Structure 1
Amino acid sequence: MMQTCSFNARTISRFVSAAAVAIVVCASTDARAQSTATGVPNAMQGFSQNRDKPIQIDAASLEMRDKDKAATFSGNVKVVQGDTTMLCKTLVVFYDNDQSSKKPAMKSATPGPAGSSSIKRLEAQGGVVVTQKDSTVTGDKGVFDMRTNTVTMHGNVLLTKDKNVLRGDRLIVDLTTGVSRVESNSGRVQGVFQAAPNNAQQGGNAAGAQPSPAPGAPGKPLKLNDLPNSRKRNG
């Protein structure tokens, strides 16, 4: 039977806001398979937008391992907050019941059986999919590290926004600096971005006005290396 666990938004808000910034669509070009960008809208930012709304976790089972200080949600795990949804096969929450810790941030009424615990790390595994409106992020595994304030998505990372697509093997985000990085084992990050329609062509050219040059035909896919103002690093 499917179990439903509802968490108070305040108890997990810091985790959610961290995750919100984690998955960032990176639009800059890098021949060494690393691309950086900040502040680009993406599906995970929906958690931040909905931070005051309750978080609901649905799973087939919940296993508590107090000796390991871990709680595991298993079986078609679904996390919902507002209009943002995360799906995965398992979600493992690692916590610390040591009340003498100097960093008591991120308190949660669950998962620790002692009733009050500090979340150290979360691992979403198995077909991780985060969706908000027309934005989607997928990967094999997502790790949210509260101590280092970083988030890493591993394996077959795919970021989409409307018809824009970016692929890589890893997505690493430093939440302190707000810098994200996409890496690829093959040596190159792949992306396809939709060219915006030319306003002059849509509304008709003014008398004697020349249409603005465009990197590609309006409405057609635009390859990452064809983006205007892109910069490549040499070998």
Structure 2
Amino acid sequence: MSRTEVVVYENPELLAAAAAARLVTRIVDVQAARGSASVVLTGGGTGIAVLRELRESHARDAIDWSRLDLYWGDERFVPADSGERNEKGAREALLDHVPLAPERVHAMAPSDGEFGDDVDAAAAAYAKVLADAAEDGEQVPAFDIVLLGLGGEGHTASVFPDSPAVHETQATVVAVRDCPKPPPTRVSLTLPAIRRAREVWLMTGGAAKADAVAQALAGAPETQIPVSGARGYHRTLWLLDREAAGKLTKVYQPPGS
């Protein structure tokens, strides 16, 4: 049965450090149980800060990096060397500093890659990557952990309120155009794809996110607050700082957290 947990840290620095420590432990546990693990990465300030904390942690050496598959929840459809690429941020923060197996790092195509500026082709290609990695006739792997952030208006990945992406029920990956937040063109997992994850971790800080956090946890419709629809089928874990949790009426603090 799926469960939702909320953990609040005093500030963004503690949030990032704690999330990194949790991530090490969970990856190691999954690798011990099943041999390999899969994680979906996110961009944004908190997502990259967590990767940076992981890079600087001695505990990172407990992970068998050669048995880790990495994916992305969304990507800005810009050239490969653009500083706006989530992949570039992740590589600079962590990926270029650990012994990953290159064939297990599944990045989304840039706008100057093999599909050129055809964002629909890039989305279709990533959907095929996911389908090829899935089992039992599914179209998406059962990711062990999906890391996500969220925007002040409630978007997550690149699924924005009342957008074509938030109404998508069949596709696993979509091209996103005219995003209200630049850059306007992106590739994103859909909410049904995200819900294939065993665990979804929603990580955010700052008072600007407090309304969206409170509305999502109160059960707002995902068409209005898309992050409401981002949940894991075993666990959904909200990792917040004090400001982002400022409008919650109840916080669930799990034992040992």
Q: Which has the larger radius of gyration?
A: 1
- Richer in strand (by share): 1
**Larger helix proportion of the pair:** 2
TM-score after normalising by structure 2: 0.23
Structure number with the bigger relative contact order (C-alpha 8 A, sep ≥ 6) is: 2
